[in-house]
Amino acid sequence: MKPLILKGVRPYGEGEPVDVLIRDGVIAAIGDVTEEDAETVDGNGAVLLPGFVDLHTHLREPGREDTETIATGSAAAALGGYTAVFAMANTNPVADNEVVVQHVARRGREVGLVDVHPVGAVTVGLEGVKLAELGTMAKAGVRVFSDDGHCVHDPLIMRRALEYSKALDVVVAQHAEEPRLTVGAQAHEGEQASRLGLQGWPAAAEESIVARDCLLALHAGARLHVCHVSTTGTADVLKWAKARGTQVSAEVTPHHLLLTDERLATYDPVNKVNPPLRTAGDAAELREALAEGVIDCVATDHAPHAVQDKDTEWSAARPGMLGLQTALSIVVETMVRTGLLDWRGVARVMSERPAEIAGLPDQGRPIEVGEPANLTLVDPDTTWTVRGAEFASIAANTPFEGMELPGTVVATLLRGRVTAVGGRIRS
C-alpha cells in the first residue's frame, strides 16, 4: 500500500492546517511532510478526527438481507465516517452463540470497510430467561453483550449477567424498558400521544430499569452500559449513579438529540422508534448531559426497515430509523453549532469514549505519530440535503429526509486505507 498524505488538515479543528503522512497503516509524521510517490487527499483545512465508533448498529445480516447486509451497512458506516461498528445481536438466527458471532465478524473482515464487531446476546434467543454462553462468545472476540430490542427485565437474570461478565472483561449493554409498563406502547406517554390516541411509553419505564441496573452494577462491582438514553430522568439517574461510583456508561442517539414527539402528528411511522421520540425538554437535557459527560457517547441505533414494514398504519410499523450516514451531521447541528461541544468533544463522544467502553485498543486513539491511522476527515462548513434513496443502506427509512444538515465526511481511513472519499466508497 502506497503511503498517503492528508494535505492541509486541522487535527481536532485546532491550529493552522498541517499535512499528515500515513505509512503502513500508522501515522508516520505530522507537520510539513514530503514523501515521493504518495497518494494525497486534499483536506482544504478540514477537521481531522479519530475514526468514529458506533456501539449500536443493526446490520440485519443474517436474516433480513432485504433491508441491509454487512456489506451495505459497512459502506454506510464508512461514508458516515465510522471505522468500527458494533452489530447488534437481534438477527435471525440470533447472535447468541459463537457460530453466528464468528460469521458476522468474518463477513465484516471480508467486506473490509469498517471493523465489524459482533454484539452477543445476553440471553438465549433474546428471551430474557437463560444466560447465553457469554464466555464462549467472549473467547470468540465479543466485547459487548446486549439483548437490544428487548430488555433483560428479570432482575435476577440481569444481576447474574453483570456478575458473570466481570470475569470476561466485557460490558453488558441494557435496552432499558420495563415491559410491564410498555405493553402495546406506541409513543412517548405525554400530551402528544394522548391527543393522537397512541398508547403511552412512559419515561419511568426506562428510568426505573436504569436505576435498578445501576444499583445492581454497583452491588456486583460490574460494568453496565445503557443503550439509547431518551429521557431527562435517565440522565438524572446516571448522574447520581456515577457520583456514587457506579461503573456505568451511556449512549444517546442522534435522533433523540434532534427530533421530538411533535413529529408524530402525521402518523408517519418513519418517526416510530424504540425508545420513542420524547419531548423538546428531553432533547435539550440529553444535549446537556452529553456535553457534560453524564452521557458518554453518541450511538446511532441504525435500524434499517423495508418499505412494507414502515409504510403502514402506525401500530403495524416496526420501530427504528437509519442513522449511520446522518449521525455526524446531527451531532454538528445539535452539539457543535450550539456551542455545547468543540471538535475535541466530538472526538470524545463519537470515537474515544465508545472505543474505551468496548475496550478497543486500536480505535479512538490520539492523532499522534505512531498511532493507528483510523481517521475521519470532516468538512464542517458545507451543508447537504438528506435523501434516503441515495444512502448506501438498502433501506431508506430516514426521518431526516429533505433536511439540510451541516457537516460532510471528506474521507474515512481504516488503518491507513481510504474506505470512503468525497461521498464514495473506495474498496
Partner 1 sequence: MKHLLSTEGIDPAQATAILDTAASLKQALEGREVRKLPTLRGRTVITMFYEASTRTRVSFEIAGKWMSADVVNVSSSGSSVGKGESLRDTALTLAAAGADCVIVRHPASGAAHRLAGWLRAAGTSVVNAGDGMHEHPTQALLDAATLRERLGDLRDRRIAIVGDVLHSRVARSNVHLLTALGADVTLVAPPTLLPTGVESWPVTISHELDAELPSLDAVMLLRVQAERMHGGFFPSAREYSISYGLSERRLKLLPEHAVVLHPGPMLRGMEIASAVADSPRAAITDQVRNGVHVRMAVLYHLLAHEEENA
Q: Is there a contact between 147 and 126 (Cβ–Cβ < 8 Å)? A: yes
Instruction: Specify the residue for cell string 444535549.
Output: 287
Residues 6+ positions from 46 with CB-CB distance below 8 Å: 8, 9, 10, 377, 378, 379, 380, 410
**Cα–Cα distance for residue pair 272/370, rounded to 1 Å:** 44
Instruction: Specify the residue for cell string 459487548.
Output: 144
The stretch among 98-106, 149-157, 189-197, 295-303 that binds partner 1 (CB under 8 A) is 189-197
SS (H, E, C) 279-304: CHHHHHHHHHHHHHCCCCEECCCECC
One character per residue 202-221, x = contact with partner 1 (rule: CB under 8 A): x-------------------
Binding-site residues from annotation: 56, 58-60, 90, 148, 175, 228, 274, 301, 305, 319-320
**262 makes contact with partner 1 (CB under 8 A):** no
Q: Which grid coordinates are listed for 21? A: 503522512
Given 173, 193, 331, 410, the residue binding partner 1 (CB under 8 A):
193
Quote the least distance from Cβ 218 to partner 1, whole Å.
31
In this complex, which beta carbon is closest to partner 1, that of residue 12 or of residue 267?
A: 267
> Could you tell me if residue 364 is left (phi over 0), alpha (psi between -120 and 50 degrees) or otherwise beta?
left
Given 194, 338, 385, 427, the residue binding partner 1 (CB under 8 A):
194
The stretch among 107-115, 183-191, 282-290, 396-404 that binds partner 1 (CB under 8 A) is 183-191
Given 186, 253, 271, 363, the residue binding partner 1 (CB under 8 A):
186
One character per residue 293-312, x = contact with partner 1 (rule: CB under 8 A): ---------------x--xx
**280 makes contact with partner 1 (CB under 8 A):** no
Given 109, 130, 195, 337, the residue binding partner 1 (CB under 8 A):
195
**190 makes contact with partner 1 (CB under 8 A):** yes
Q: Is there a contact between 32 and 333 (Cβ–Cβ < 8 Å)? A: no
Quote the least distance from Cβ 271 to partner 1, whole Å.
11
Residues marked as catalytic: 301
Measure the CA angle with vertex 290, ends 384 and 409; round to 5°.
25
Helix, coil or strand: residue 136: helix
**59 makes contact with partner 1 (CB under 8 A):** no
Closest CA to 382 of 422, 324, 353, 420: 422
**178 makes contact with partner 1 (CB under 8 A):** no
How many residues touch partner 1 under the rule CB under 8 A: the total is 24
Q: Which grid coordinates are listed for 18? A: 498541517
Quote the least distance from Cβ 261 to partner 1, whole Å.
11
Residue 61 DSSP one-character state: T
**282 makes contact with partner 1 (CB under 8 A):** no
CB atoms within 10 A of CB 293: 15
One character per residue 316-335, x = contact with partner 1 (rule: CB under 8 A): x-------------------
**139, burial (CB in 10 Å: exposed 0-12, middle 13-18, buried 19+):** exposed
**197 makes contact with partner 1 (CB under 8 A):** yes
**167 makes contact with partner 1 (CB under 8 A):** no
Quote the least distance from Cβ 268 to partner 1, whole Å.
8
Contacts with partner 1 by CB under 8 A lie at 186, 189-200, 202, 266-268, 308, 311-316
